[in-house]
Structure 1
Amino acid sequence: MQKITLHSSIVTDTFICHGKPTFKGTRIMVWQVLDMLAQGATREEITEAFPSISTRHIKAALTYAGLLAKEGYVLINLHEKIPA
Structure 2
Amino acid sequence: MNLLERITIDPNICHGKPSIRGMRWTVEMIIDLLGSGMSNDEIIEDHPELEKEDILASLKFAKMYLSGQSIINIAS
TM-score under structure 1 length normalisation: 0.74
In 1, Cα distance between equivalents of 2:70 and 2:20: 16
Please give the per-residue CA displacement for 1:45-72, whole angstroms capped at 9, x wherever unaligned.
111232111111111011001101211x
Deviating above 6 A after TM superposition, structure 1's stretches of 4 or more consecutive aligned residues are none
Q: Which residue of 1 aligns with 2:71?
A: 75
In 2, Cα distance between equivalents of 1:33 and 1:15: 19
- Between Structure 1 and Structure 2, whose CA radius of gyration is higher? 1
The Cα shift of 1:25 comes to: 3.4
Are 2:25 and 1:28 aligned?
yes
Q: Which residue of 2 aligns with 1:58?
A: 55
In 1, Cα distance between equivalents of 2:56 and 2:67: 16
Choose between structure 1 and 2: higher helix proportion: 2
Q: Any unmatched runs of 5+ in structure 1?
A: 1-6
The Cα shift of 1:17 comes to: 0.7
Q: Which residue of 2 aligns with 1:4?
A: none
For this pair of structures, how many residues does the alignment match? 71
The Cα shift of 1:18 comes to: 0.5
Structure with bigger RCO (C-alpha 8 Å, 6+ apart): 2
Give the share of equivalent positions with the same residue, in percent: 34
